[in-house]
Amino acid sequence: MHLSSCWTVIGQSAKSKHQKEPGENKIKPINKKVKPKGLKMKEREPVDSSSKSQSILMQVMDKGRFQKLTATLSLSAGQSVELRCKGSNVTWSYPSYLDTFKDSRLSIKQLDRYGQLILTNSTAADTGEYSCWLQPCNGNKCRKDETKTGSTYIFFTDKEELFVPTPSYFEIVYLNPDKPAVIPCRVTTPSAKVTLHREFPAEEIETDETNIIYDAKKGFVYQHPTSDHRGIVYCKAESQGAPQISIKYHLLYVEVPKGPPSATIVASPSRAKVSDGIHVACTVLGEPDVDVNFSWQYPGQELERPVITQNFWRLINRGTGHTTRISKSVLIIEDFEARDAGNYICIAQNLQGATTVATRVELN
């Protein structure tokens, strides 16, 4: 998000016999006979599902061998990796930037009995979560099968890149009082020692593993952000060599009510003559990272009366360390006519709901 005004712009093993495909796991599943025990079967259901979900995701090793994946995997940058997920309709999730840049190093295919993900010439930037799940379909309706999933976090270690590279040199992190905030200085080497530092005054920020904790897969997590945490920070990592510094993070404190947009509407002028120009502005004050969508109802709309709408937003600092976002939609009529007199209605909507406000423009 920019600080200046902007125009609106995440296998089951097959029990039936079948012909194995080249390179498919040669290990035969062991079929145990289990007598149904009614209620006792239900008592065994709460067993940790994570171990079950891992069973459909495997890494292809050399010479056709397979390895079931655990929660994390460490590989050297430069290595290629092939993952397979058992099932006939598999969906994959992987670090989003691979999609953003349409990376040709990534190949995903669906074969008869498994899905395949291949990543070649890996880099430190490929570090992240790789997961798959079955997506059974009934006609045009598909759903995620929560009982058949697999996931692993892969560290692509690189001693020259202890931090996972990012496309920018500066990033904004919003501190909301009612949810944790993450400073995303993730590392490529899970054993690296990572510390958090404030730029001014220059000091190391102590992590107490309660209010501020470090997770190699996420970064530093502020469990209960306050306005005292705002400022510019960076991370430092050490691992058998000279320490490395992350990009800088600007922590902005946010304090606005959650819920549907709080909107106001003003017409200028509220009484217009024929051929005058009028502006009707609908304004919302909200959280910096919450988008607002605007729609309008106005006289002459059914007659397709031409109007101009402009949407934009900007961030403001309220002077107490709090940052909020002003979102605005302006409806413009350049040549007012008698049929343009009447009620102008603005509907502002975010993920929490919608708010409707109205004003009236009279013919003078």
Same structural domain for residues 214 and 287? no
Q: Domain ends where: 124, 157, 190? A: 157
Judge whether 15 lies within some domain: no
Residue 334 Cα distances to 277, 307, 329, angstroms: 4, 8, 16
Q: What percent of the chain has pLDDT over 90?
A: 52
At 255 the pLDDT is 67
Is residue 74, in this structure, part of any structural domain at all? yes
The residue to which tokens 């937003």 are assigned: 313
266 and 348 share a domain? Answer: yes
**pLDDT at 12 exceeding the cut of 50:** no
If asked whether residues 194 and 153 sit together in one domain, one would say: no
Query: Does residue 232 contact residue 200 with C-beta atoms inside 8 Å?
Result: yes
97-131 per-residue burial string, b: 16 or more CB within 10 A, e: under 16: eeeeeebeebeeeeeebbbbbebeebbbbbbbebb
Report whether pLDDT(254) > 90.
Answer: no
Task: Indicate whether 350 pLDDT > 50.
Answer: yes
Whether 246 is covered by a domain: the verdict is yes
In a domain, residue 48? The reply is: no
Is the CB of residue 141 less than 8 Å from the CB of residue 89?
Answer: no
pLDDT digits (tens, 9 = 90+) for 95-107: 887 876 677 899 9
Is pLDDT at 3 greater than 60 in this prediction?
A: no
Residue 36 has pLDDT above 70, yes or no: no
Confidence of residue 274 (pLDDT cuts 50, 70, 90): very high
Query: Which CATH number does the domain housing residue 274 bear?
Result: 2.60.40.10
Instruction: Report pLDDT digits (tens) over 165-200.
Output: 988 888 888 888 888 999 999 999 999 999 999 998
Residues 322 and 272 in one domain: yes
Res. 123: pLDDT tops 70:
yes
The answer to whether residue 13 sits within a structural domain is no
Residue 140 lies in a domain: yes
Domain count along the chain = 3
Boundary residue ending a domain (253, 273, 295): 253
Domain region containing 346:
262-363
Verify that 185 and 152 share a domain, yes or no. no
Residues 100 and 146 in one domain: yes
**22 falls within a domain:** no
Q: What is the average pLDDT score of the chain? A: 82
Domain-embedded: residue 9: no
> Does residue 128 have a pLDDT over 50?
yes
